Chains A and B, each alone.
Chain A
Amino acid sequence: MTPSTSTVESPTAHLAYTADEDDLRSGLRDLLTDRVALPALLARIETTEPYDPKLWRVLAEQIGVTGLAIAEEHGGSGATWRETALVMEELGRAVAPTPFLGSAVLATAALGHCGAHDLLTELAGGHRTATLAVSFATAPGTQPPYDVRADTDDTLTGTVTSVVDAGSADLIVVAATTPQGPTLYTVDPTHEGVHRQSVTSLDLTRPLTDLTLTAAPGRPIARGDAAEAAVAAAITTGAALLASEQLGLAEYCLESTVAYLKTRNQFGRPVGSFQGPKHRLAALWVSITQARAVARYAAACVAVDDPDTAVAVAVAQAHCSDIAVHAAEECVQLHGGIGFTWEHHAHLYLKRAKADALAFGTPDRHRAALAELVDLAP
């Protein structure tokens, strides 16, 4: 992957995909089509190992997805959040069971922001994974509750609920309060002071964990404003890139529904020849062209830390959340009876879509944030 050459252009200059990005996409799609088969996915989601470690290794080693947003001198490939967003798109399309969001997005953004380069190097190759200990529902711009406190010897005590990708993480980034203000730590989750309770997640392909720390030793990586800024940057980046995941999953819902309605016959005609379903699918296609533009713009903004990032992320999350949920709901409905069965993929996408809409703030919260950002207060 060639490093991005431009950081001075307006983010709107990056709304279209580059040839490098097209190559990355086609490699990923081939691999995911090959490796994420529905029967295996269905079998896996009800086990204690919902994530596929083999898939993760191949993604990391063959395609190098884990180090895209990490500089070359720290073991990454020196690309940007835009390329990382493209990976989110493809993983979302496949509802692929991987800890990419927690490790290659949230933890990578937080560690990168505080310059913890030794830890980034560990994540870049994908041999270890990490996550950031915040509730998956935390919206950008809101202060995380900091329910964890640190003692003077840097041991941590407290609980963080509904953390994404913590169950399989080798390293957890935890924000804690100290008498000197907020501090960001890394914690080894295998330490006896760390208890990870897996939660029954609405999204079967993305497990959540409640994390309880009891005098768990932490390694401080940032203190005060730097710690707060790192957490805020990670949540903003996560929200921005989640829009790309929503785009990818909406697109697959549309494509799989179109494919089915071309072959499903009722009343002596393909169901897809009736104007009712056709118009709904065409309208969904139009929505998805918009989801691509706003998701892409949000990724381009975080990639260069553009001043418009907050607006871009609120727009992308408000818009893509609704579109992805709508796409998944249309997928269920237009498939008819088969779309409501456990054997069919539709419910996995519906669960992912609805959970994604709640993650990093609901569309309503994003619109409320936007009202302040663009001077349209109630």
Chain B
Amino acid sequence: MTAAQLDERVTAFLAAHPDTSDEIGYLRARFDAGLAWVHYPVGLGGLDAPRSSQRAVDARFVAAGAPTNDPGRIGIGLGMAAPTVLAYGTAEQRARWLRPLWTGEEVWCQLFSEPGAGSDLAALGTRAVRDGDAWVVDGQKVWTSMAHEARWAILVTRTHPDLPKHRGMTYFVCDMTAPGVEVRPLRQATGEAEFNEVFLTGVRIPDAHRLGEIGDGWSVARTTLMNERVAIGGASEPREGGMIGIVADTWRAHPELRTAGLHDRLLRLWVEAEAARLTTERLRLQLAAGDPGPEGSGAKLTYARLNQEISGLELDLLAEQGLRHDEWTMRRPASVDFTTRSPGYRYLRAKGNSIEGGTSEILLNVIAERVLGLPPEPRVDKDTAWKDLPR
């Protein structure tokens, strides 16, 4: 399907749906017309069109003032669950889950990390035991954003403790409303609770909600995680669009705060922020051309470091004002917003950037091994049964 043909479809859809008052109805119709995620198959919200044409389609719906599925709120569903369901789901599973996922009627979360399995995700210990046509799941998951609003979760479990860790996992879709699922807020250094702990106690999951083969959960999880790294996208950021713009504005407005040392740090970080912006822009062009390249993992490393350094500089620049915080109220934000809170919040929240979604140390390993082809770390646990690993 060419870009022009796609554009005609959008025009026809917009003409046929002038009434946008029923937002869910509108989004369902857009999904059924194949204009949700155009690179998905026909019948599942797409038209088998190139992924690169999505931006133009989205731009037309935005320009028309059409209802939005609020992608910031359903990022885990769109970026991680959906590609996994598409890759491993049966026809019934795809048909059941993808449409309400895309329209935002059903929020998804991710039950991967555990207190004992952070960077080493494959060491996870949440047990799933077969019981007739269902599985009984017991364990604890952590760092789960949106669990308190989610209808469904993608879940990785241990089904074969006698096998080495990578070979004994099975991947499920878990109903977050099922008995035995308990979600507790996990308060962070910022005072807020973006994330949750999720306790699973005797939760029954039908075998029909398994994704992929029994024991093949690691392959399925890798598909999910690969898509997490590709999920960079969206609109281009203007110069000074990120945190550096806030500090630059403070610098311009407050000559009395300026020192030579701060000026040097500001200019160095300004250059780095602009370089990071152009690097992401380049990555976006490559993604649009269908050739993501490995720059994505580098972009995350860079943004984590820059957010931390820039927010630290901001507090130094503010001096006395930096001593005063806005509030420590426990809240449950749906997404991270660096711009509306105080500088102290930015400084503290940025500390999470080098931990969440893969620590910076693990990402450096990934780049060294997968991009540069350097020899892997010695893996002493590779051939040991999971149950015999020290923990």
A residues less than 8 Å from B267 (CB atoms): 318, 367-368, 370-371, 376
Contact status A289-B279, CB under 8 Å: yes
What distance in Å separates the Cβ of B113 from its nearest Cβ neighbour in chain A? 22
Q: How far is the CA of A301 from the CA of B164 in the complex (A)?
A: 54
Chain B residues, CB < 8 A from A275: 365, 377
Asked whether A315 and B374 contact (CB < 8 A) given A15-B285, A374-B270, A376-B248, the answer is no
Contact A376 B372 (CB under 8 A): no
Report the nearest B residue to A290, measured CB to CB.
B275
- How many chain-A residues does the 8 Å CB contact rule pick out? 39
Contact of B274 among A254, A315, A378 (CB under 8 A): A315
Q: Are A370 and B278 in contact (CB under 8 A)?
A: no
- SS of A interface (majority): helix
- B282:A296 contact, CB within 8 angstroms: yes
- Tell me the complex Cα distance, A272–B378, Å: 12
Are A258 and B372 in touch, CB under 8 angstroms? yes
Kindly identify, within residues 357 to 378 of chain A, every residue whose CB is under 8 Å from any CB belonging to chain B.
367-368, 370-371, 374-376, 378
Residue of B with least CB distance to A370: B267
A262 within 8 A of B: yes
In whole angstroms, how far apart are the Cα atoms of A272 and B364 in the complex?
A: 13
Instruction: Tell whether B376 is near chain A: CB-to-CB under 8 Å.
Output: yes
Interface flags, B235-252, vs A, CB<8A=1, else 0: 010000000000010011
In the bound complex, how far is the Cα of B271 from the Cα of A273, in angstroms? 33
Write the chain A residue with the least CB distance to B369.
Answer: A278
Query: A279 in the interface, Cβ–Cβ < 8 Å?
Result: yes
A106 at the B interface (CB under 8 A): no
Q: Collect the chain B residues with CB atoms within 8 Å of residue A269's CB.
A: 375, 378
The reply to whether A370 and B285 form a contact with Cβ atoms under 8 Å apart is no
Stretch at the interface among B41-49, B258-266, B331-339: B258-266
Q: Is the CB of B374 within 8 A of A258?
A: yes
Partner-binding segment picked from B9-17, B120-128, B295-303, B321-329: B295-303
A345–chain B nearest beta-carbon distance, Å: 19
Please report the C-alpha to C-alpha distance between residue A76 and residue B27 in the assembled complex, in whole angstroms.
55
* A378–B279 CA distance with the chains assembled, in angstroms: 27
Give the chain A neighbours of B375 by CB distance below 8 A: 262, 269-270, 272-273
The complex places the Cα of A304 from the Cα of B272 at a distance, in Å, of 24
Instruction: Kindly name the residue among B275, B282, B285, B302 whose own CB sees the greatest number of chain A CB atoms within 10 A.
Output: B275
A282 x B289 contact (CB < 8 A): no
| Residues from chain A with Cβ under 8 Å of B270 in the complex | 370, 374, 376
The verdict on A204 contacting chain B, using a C-beta distance below 8 Å, is: no
Q: Does B18 contact A (CB under 8 A)?
A: no
Q: Is B65 an interface residue (CB 8 A)?
A: no
Contact A315 B364 (CB under 8 A): no
Q: Which A residue's beta carbon lies closest to that of B266?
A: A376
Q: In the complex, A258 Cα to B264 Cα: how many Å?
A: 33
The answer to whether B286 has its CB under 8 Å from any CB of chain A is yes
- Residues A253-297 near B (CB distance < 8 A): 254, 258, 261-262, 269-270, 272-273, 275, 278-279, 281-283, 285-286, 289-294, 296-297
* A272 lies within 8 A of B374 (CB): yes
Contact with B along A32-56 (1 / 0, CB 8 A): 0000000000000000000000000
Are A315 and B271 in contact, with the CB atoms below 8 A?
yes
| A-contact bits for B59-71, CB 8 A (1 contact / 0 none) | 0000000000000
With A285-B367, A367-B271, A371-B267 known as contacts, the answer to whether A290 contacts B374 (CB < 8 A) is no
Q: Is B374 in contact with A281, judged by CB distance below 8 angstroms? A: yes
Contact between A12 and B278, CB atoms less than 8 A apart: yes
Interface residues of A in 211-260 (CB under 8 A from B): 254, 258
Across the interface, which residues of A come within 8 angstroms of B378, CB to CB?
Answer: 269, 273
A82 part of interface (Cβ distance < 8 Å): no
Q: Would you call A376 and B251 a contact (CB within 8 A)?
A: yes
CB of A354 closer than 8 Å to a CB of B: no
A125 to B301, CA, bound (A): 45
Q: Do the beta carbons of B266 and A285 come within 8 Å of each other?
A: no
Q: Is B96 part of the contact surface with A, judged by Cβ < 8 Å?
A: no
Residues from chain A with a CB closer than 8 A to the CB of B275 are: 290-291, 293-294, 315, 319
- Most chain B CB neighbours (cut-off 10 Å) among A279, A289, A370: A289
Q: How far is the CA of A293 from the CA of B260 in the complex (A)?
A: 29
Q: Across the interface, do A290 and B279 meet the contact criterion of CB distance under 8 Å?
A: yes
| Interface residue? A202 (CB, 8 A) | no
Query: A16 contacts the other chain (Cβ, under 8 Å)?
Result: yes
On whether the beta carbons of B263 and A286 are closer than 8 Å, the reply is no
Is B33 close to A, CB under 8 A? no
B268 at the interface (CB under 8 A from A): yes
Expressed in whole angstroms, the Cα–Cα distance for A283 and B266 within the complex equals 21
Residue of A nearest to B251 (CB): A376
Beyond A319-B275, A375-B252, whether A293 also contacts B281 by CB under 8 A is yes
Residues of B within 8 A of A294 (CB): 274-275, 278
Q: Closest chain A residue to B275 by CB distance?
A: A290
Distance in angstroms from A363 CB to nearest chain B CB is 9
For A296, list chain B residues within 8 Å (CB).
278, 282
A289: chain B residues within 8 A (beta carbon): 279, 282, 295, 298
Complex CA gap A42/B370 in Å reads 34
Expressed in whole angstroms, the Cα–Cα distance for A256 and B285 within the complex equals: 28
Q: Across the interface, do B285 and A262 meet the contact criterion of CB distance under 8 Å? A: no
With known contacts A16-B285, A258-B374, A319–B272 Cβ distance under 8 A: yes
Q: Are B376 and A273 in contact (CB under 8 A)?
A: yes
Q: Considering the chains assembled together, what is the distance between the CA atoms of A318 and B376 in angstroms?
A: 34
Q: Mark B354-384, 1 if CB is under 8 A from A, else 0.
A: 0000000101110111011111111000000
Q: Decide if B285 touches A278 in the complex (CB within 8 Å).
A: no
Q: Is the CB of B374 within 8 A of A262?
A: yes
Residue among B266, B364, B368 with the most chain A CB within 10 A? B368
A13 and B282 alpha carbons, distance in the complex (Å)? 9
**Chain A min CB distance to B371 (Å):** 6
Report Cα–Cα, A302/B185, bound state, in Å: 53
Q: Give residues 305-364 of B contacting A (CB, 8 Å).
A: 361, 363-364
Kindly list chain B residues whose C-beta atoms are within 8 Å of the C-beta of A375: 252
B276 at the interface (CB under 8 A from A): yes
CB-defined A-B contacts under 8 Å, sample of 23: A12-B236, A16-B282, A258-B372, A270-B375, A273-B376, A273-B378, A275-B365, A278-B364, A279-B365, A281-B372, A281-B374, A283-B364, A285-B298, A286-B298, A289-B279, A290-B279, A293-B275, A294-B278, A297-B278, A315-B274, A319-B275, A370-B271, A374-B270
Residues of A with Cβ closer than 8 Å to B?
12-13, 15-16, 254, 258, 261-262, 269-270, 272-273, 275, 278-279, 281-283, 285-286, 289-294, 296-297, 315, 318-319, 367-368, 370-371, 374-376, 378
10 A-B pairs closest in CB distance: A273-B375, A278-B368, A293-B278, A282-B367, A286-B298, A15-B282, A367-B267, A293-B279, A282-B364, A272-B374
Told that A370-B271, A376-B266 touch, could you supply 9 new A-B pairs with CB distance under 8 A?
A: A12-B236, A278-B364, A286-B302, A289-B282, A289-B295, A289-B298, A315-B271, A367-B267, A374-B248
